[in-house]
Homo-oligomer: A and B are copies of this chain.
Amino acid sequence: MNTFGQLLRVTTFGESHGPAIGCVIDGCPPGIAISPEDFAHDLARRATGRTRHTSARHEADEVEILSGVYEGKTTGTPIALLIRNTDARSKDYANIAAQFRPGHADYTYWQKYGARDPRGGGRSSARETTMRVSAAVIAKKWLAEKYGVSVRGHLAQIGDVLPRTFDVAAIETNPFFWPDAGQVSELESFMDALRKSGDSVGARIVVVADGVPPGWGEPVYGKLDAELAAAMMSINAVKGVEIGDGFASVAQKGSEHRDEATRGGFLSNHAGGILGGISSGQRIVVSVAFKPTSSLRLPVRGLDVDGNEVEIVVTGRHDPCVGIRATPICEAMLALVLMDQALRHRAQCGEVGEVSPRIPPGKPG
């Protein structure tokens, strides 16, 4: 189960401090123009070492295309991508190989497999997400070129800090993917104080997709929202997922929540663009909760592999907020789910074509 997707299938492999990480993308349509340079932008957005607010690990993150592309275009055969691990300082982790770090997967891997690769968290490291981001570069491109679908995300909360305004143009101008440019220096101070304290905080990311045609998704277990929930929850440190109004729906009235429609379009988007598991043509809206980083230099009580109680202190390079660079990862999962569902839709409903009437997206919500 290191494979994601039904028809666009992404299989990832690799440990944080092994020789390499990589993926195989199977089921990709032929004829998509792809070059190694295409991966650079989103990998840089996700990269560690980008600001003083994220982990100091520096990886070149150069993607090698091993297969599936000929003369610059996908051929329909599996596309293998590889990134060598070049800055993996395993010695940082040597002292905790025999301990179970609270909040980490050390204990659960140990219990499942009877052993674990302790170097940098091994397979449980978020380094695996470089491959999600890489694979999604192809998905984003195909969705944009073929359907005009665009996918983007932003940081919607960090700790108890909320954006005061929302300016979509601000998001890509600061290292936090924060929609309020005027708050950036405040956020920097917040992060500096946090780092000094040795502690960490959680974050909330919102990702949206515009231009998704109505009809993508499946009725029961393959619901578009069900697969988005799994996709987001499969990202390291995620503890909650909402579609549209999410948990706010609990206290809403039905007369408030249901989105009215006119010929001019939907008048609201409480649903987040999905009804009955199928896209409505409105903006797809997903909100994702990230827990605070568990690797802290503040000591914590835990056990070692012999069952002794120990005080655990995690040194090494760690982000005080893993959510800061999670925006491109959430975008990646959204794009991969959408492309997979698009392929599945045309498999089953290829003869249906465009159905009338079509309600314009209206209010994005």
Contact = CB atoms under 8 A, between A and B. Distances in A.
A347 B347 contact: yes
A90 to B, nearest CB: 11
A141 interface: no
Given A123-B75, A240-B242, A349-B29, A249 B289 contact: yes
Contacts of A108: 214-215, 217, 274-280
Contact of A352 (B30, B103, B301, B356): B30
Interface in A253-297: 253-263, 267, 270-272, 274-281, 289-296
A218 B3 CA distance: 11
Interface in A180-232: 199-204, 213-223, 225-232
Contact of A112 (B82, B117, B246, B345): B345
A55 interface: no
Contacts of A280: 107-108, 111
A215 B272 contact: no
A213 B278 CA distance: 32
19 contacts: A1-B221, A2-B77, A3-B11, A22-B66, A29-B352, A73-B115, A100-B261, A103-B275, A105-B219, A112-B217, A112-B352, A124-B276, A159-B250, A200-B255, A202-B251, A204-B247, A226-B233, A240-B249, A343-B350
A232 B226 CA distance: 8
Interface residues of A, number: 164
A229 B233 contact: yes
A89 interface: no
A2 B108 CA distance: 31
A105 B275 contact: yes
A287 to B, nearest CB: 8
B26 A1 contact: yes
Given A75-B117, A103-B257, A29 B350 contact: yes
B112 A289 contact: no
A305 to B, nearest CB: 7
Nearest to A305: B357
Contacts of A213: 111
Nearest to A344: B347
